[in-house]
Amino acid sequence: MTLCEPPGSHKAAGPRGRRGTAVDTQNILLSGIVGSTAYGLAREGSDVDRLGMFAAPTEDFHGLHGPKETHVTTKPDNTLHEAAKWCRLALGGNPTVTELVWLPDELYEVRTPLGDELIGIRTTLLSAKRVRDAYLGYATQQFKRLYDRGAASASASAETRRRTAKHARHLRRLCHQGFELYAGGALTIRVEDPDDYHRFGEQVAADAMVALPLLQRYEAAFDKTRSALPDQPDEAPAEAWLRRVRAAYYTRSGP
């Protein structure tokens, strides 16, 4: 007996999961186009990345082994996180999952009432330290990759230079978006001047150290700016939302 009809109207099977099973897209709560296309940085031949969140049937949590929490496919590139895992990542400030609830309306491909509820509580998931640590941390990792390649940049292959330029663009984006979120409490997904980001990427591909002053400027900006975000995220709204998800996807089978 179904106690509450799960929201959503899509029936097609999604990415393959544990034991060969598929995530039914009827269980997807929110999904959209992310990555370079969303940022406005895509060029001809760029991949189209999709990110979404699904609800595993609640009864799947009752056995010895819980449901698979992440499903990934390539060509097309699609990542789906189970609702609880998505919340944990978002509460930790993870930049990739955070952008899912800040997308422009036209980039959403699946929206449900529960997905809209989550968008409505997105600011409660944020906290100053976690946003700073996550965004600057990712940016610093990107710089280390750039630096490690820098010594060989003169003799690097075209593919290496392409990847270096891509990492440089994302380093700059992470710095800008992270600081915007930290200082103002809101996130703009599309960058203001995509061409300038591409020029920056080419400059860094030629000399990795070009990225260092930008990273240092943003570190200083974080240091001297009072954040609009609280010290800790408010977990209560996410907890309440997740319990509504579990209720909506709970079914009871007969003996």
Task: Pick 14 or 116 by higher pLDDT.
Answer: 116
CA distance 168 to 145: 9
pLDDT for 11 beyond 70: no
Question: Average pLDDT, stretch 36-61?
Answer: 92
Length of the chain: 255
Could you read off the pLDDT of 57-66 as tens digits, one per residue?
999 998 889 8
Q: For position 127, what pLDDT does the model report? A: 98
Q: Looking at the chain, which runs of residues are DSSP E strands? A: 13-16, 22-24, 28-34, 49-54, 70-73, 77-82, 108-111
Q: For position 182, what pLDDT does the model report? A: 98
1 confidence band (pLDDT: 50, 70, 90): very low
Burial 201-210 (b: 16+ CB within 10 A, else e): beebbeebeb
CB-based contact 229:128 (threshold 8 Å): yes
- Nearest-CA neighbor of 175 among 207, 220, 206? 220
- 82 contacts: CB under 8 Å, gap ≥ 6: 53, 54, 55, 56, 67, 68, 69, 70
pLDDT for 108 beyond 70: yes
150 confidence band (pLDDT: 50, 70, 90): low
Question: Average pLDDT, stretch 162-173?
Answer: 92
24 confidence band (pLDDT: 50, 70, 90): low
Pairing state between β 28-34 and 70-73:
unpaired
Supply the angle between the helices 128-150 and 158-184 in degrees, to the nearest 10. Answer: 160
For the chain, list the domains and their CATH numbers: 13-122+235-248 (3.30.460), 128-224 (no CATH)
pTM of the model: 0.85
Q: For position 9, what pLDDT does the model report? A: 37
Could you read off the pLDDT of 234-251 as tens digits, one per residue?
999 999 999 999 999 997
Q: For position 15, what pLDDT does the model report? A: 43
